[in-house]
C-alpha cells in the first residue's frame, strides 16, 4: 500500500509557497475558496490512489 509522503518533498518550497499565495492575489474570498477546491480536485485526480488520498485527508484534519 502506498504511503503518504509527509516529509518535505517540494523543490524550493519557499518559491512554491510564494506562487501559491500569488495565485490568490486579487480574488475575493469566494473566488479563492473555489480556486482551492479546483486545485485540490486536480491534484487528487493526479494522485489517483484512494488510500493515499484518505491518508492525506486524515492528516489534514489533524490540528
Q: Tell me which residue of 28, 7, 10 sits closest to 19, measured CA to CA.
A: 10
Domain span at residue 34? 30-63
Q: For residue 23, what pLDDT is reported?
A: 98
Q: Could you give the angle at the alpha carbon of 59 between the alpha carbons of 15 and 35, nearest 5°?
A: 50
Q: Give the DSSP letter string of the chain.
A: ------S--SSSHHHHHHHHHHHTTT--HHHHHHHHHHHHHHHHHHH--HHHHHHHHHHHH--
Is the residue at 40 inside a domain? yes
Q: For residue 1, what pLDDT is reported?
A: 76
Please give the tally of structural domains in the chain: 1
- Compute CA distances 17 → 21, 36, 50, 54, whole Å: 6, 14, 26, 24
Is the residue at 46 inside a domain? yes
- 25-54 pLDDT, tens digit each: 999 999 999 999 999 999 999 999 999 999
Amino acid at each position: 500500500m502506498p504511503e503518504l509522503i509527509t516529509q518535505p518533498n517540494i523543490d524550493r518550497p519557499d518559491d512554491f509557497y510564494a506562487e501559491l499565495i500569488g495565485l490568490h492575489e486579487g480574488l475575493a474570498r469566494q473566488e479563492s475558496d473555489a480556486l482551492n477546491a479546483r486545485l485540490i480536485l486536480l491534484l487528487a485526480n493526479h494522485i489517483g490512489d484512494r488510500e493515499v488520498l484518505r491518508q492525506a485527508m486524515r492528516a489534514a484534519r489533524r490540528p
